[in-house]
Amino acid sequence: MATRTEVAIPRGDELPGHGSTFGAMLEEFNVAARLLKLDPGVWKILTNPKRQIVVSCPVQMDNGEIEVFTGFRVQYNITLGPAKGGIRYHPDVNLDEITALAAWMTWKCAVAHIPFGGGKGGIICDPGKMSKRELEALTRRYIAEIVDAIGPEKDVPAPDVNTNEQIMAWVMDTYSMHVGHTTTSVVTGKPVELGGSMGRREATGRGVMIATREAARHVGIDVTSARVAVQGFGNVGSVSAELLARQGARIVAVTDWKGGVYNDSGIDIAKLLAHVQQHRTVDGFSGGDPLSHDRLFSLDVDVLIPAALENQITMANASVIKARIIIEGANGPTTPDAHRHLHDRGVFIVPDILANSSGVTTSYFEWVQDRYGYFWSEKEVNERLELKMCEAFDDVLQTALKYTVDMRTAAYVVAINRVATVTKMRGMYA
């Protein structure tokens, strides 16, 4: 039988800083908390996850053998509402990473000013080596193991790295089977036919485009002629590139997991999308010169969009970055020391918890629509998203100017202040 245990993470001051994604989050948190003169008791509450779940998921593979996969679900904070956060499938998933991502989701929801807390899930697996049947079996077993911890008013999962609409449909169906009725609002990022929201797939990339536009306006760059480099060409990177190209920006470089392409005159994004659809990688695209991952960061561009995995911009490559603006499409792509180095050089960085908060914002829209049973047009979704993103950007920018700090610290100040205020209002249950 699969097992289900809850484990405690060490306190923030006990976590190793080197190599710890959660430790990196704490560094960012602590700077903002000091600025706010945060109450020590609230400080302790907000730097410890509410719940961490570890489950074993036995699956019979296509060859008849049994494999046991380890899955995680972390509910970091639910002060503002149900936990919200994606589920990722990746060989390198670990509890430290999932906990950090759940914490970032807490701050992201607070920055976006939506009534969700922060959660995250993941399974240690290589989905590229698994059949569709095996993925379905793994998904359903994982959800069955955590079914008592999730729900529309408890914890609402969503897609993340290597998961998609189909997997979310399996999540919804498995939960519904357990509770005895169809419950579409248990998960977001579903197919539209199953209660998904119009505009959800493009939402994170659209938000990155809006953040880029607003940042360019603040810095004094004309986005209609800006030179842009994008690391990662999955859902976020590809949509960001496509929408920025429509704005007139010149996308000169794109890389993904296998390779990249550079074209100083601008990459034809429509053709690149068609190439990736056929080959599942940017590598080999004929519309430019081959480009390595390392060289992408040293290109002379106005805007750099890291939209891959965390810890991509480090002290090992920060010194070669020439971009004037960095828009963090991925979660945690810049290490704290690299961020400080870039900020000191005058690089304007829009942090992940603001830049990619449009994904969870539109997930909130989907959750609301499911609960009401009334659905909006794509135009309505995009209009509401535009309003929320611009409000969030302005809140953070004004806070940065007020405290004379960088945008990341300002975003944490906004988020922590909102969660801390509600924590104190709700009081201590004993």
Cβ partners under 8 Å of residue 336, min gap 6: 24, 27, 28
- Closest among 331, 342, 257 to 296, alpha carbons compared: 257
- Helical packing angle, 21-36 and 407-426, nearest 10°: 80
- Closest among 180, 168, 57, 204 to 123, alpha carbons compared: 57
Strand boundaries in 23-149, DSSP class E: 51-60, 66-77, 83-90, 117-124
Domain annotation for the chain: domains and CATH numbers: 4-185 (3.40.50.10860), 201-350 (3.40.50.720)
Whether residue 120 lies in the annotated active site: yes
- Token pair listed for 120: 């995250």
CA 110 to centroid of chain Cα atoms: 14
Half-sphere exposure of 408 (CA within 13 A, CB side): 29
Half-sphere exposure of 121 (CA within 13 A, CB side): 28
Helices (H), 190-304: 200-219, 235-246, 269-279, 293-297
CB distance 381 to 355 below 8 Å? no
Residue 304: phi and psi, rounded to 5, are -115, 130
Catalytic entry in 37, 44, 50, 120: 120
Q: Provide the pairing of β-strand 289-290 with 260-262.
A: antiparallel
- Token pair listed for 261: 């392409």
Cα(398)–Cα(208) distance, integer angstroms = 19
Please list the pLDDT of the chain residue by residue as tens digits (430 residues): 444 444 343 344 444 344 588 998 898 899 999 999 999 999 999 999 999 999 999 999 999 999 999 999 999 999 999 999 999 999 999 999 999 999 999 999 999 999 999 999 999 999 999 999 999 999 999 999 999 999 999 999 999 889 999 999 999 999 999 999 999 999 999 999 999 999 988 999 999 999 999 999 999 999 999 999 999 998 899 999 999 999 999 999 999 989 999 999 999 999 999 999 999 999 999 999 999 888 999 999 999 999 988 789 999 999 999 999 999 999 889 988 999 999 999 999 999 999 999 999 999 999 999 999 999 999 999 999 999 999 999 999 999 999 999 999 999 999 999 999 999 999 988 7
- Helical packing angle, 95-112 and 378-403, nearest 10°: 90
User: Which H/E stretch holds residue 286?
Assistant: none
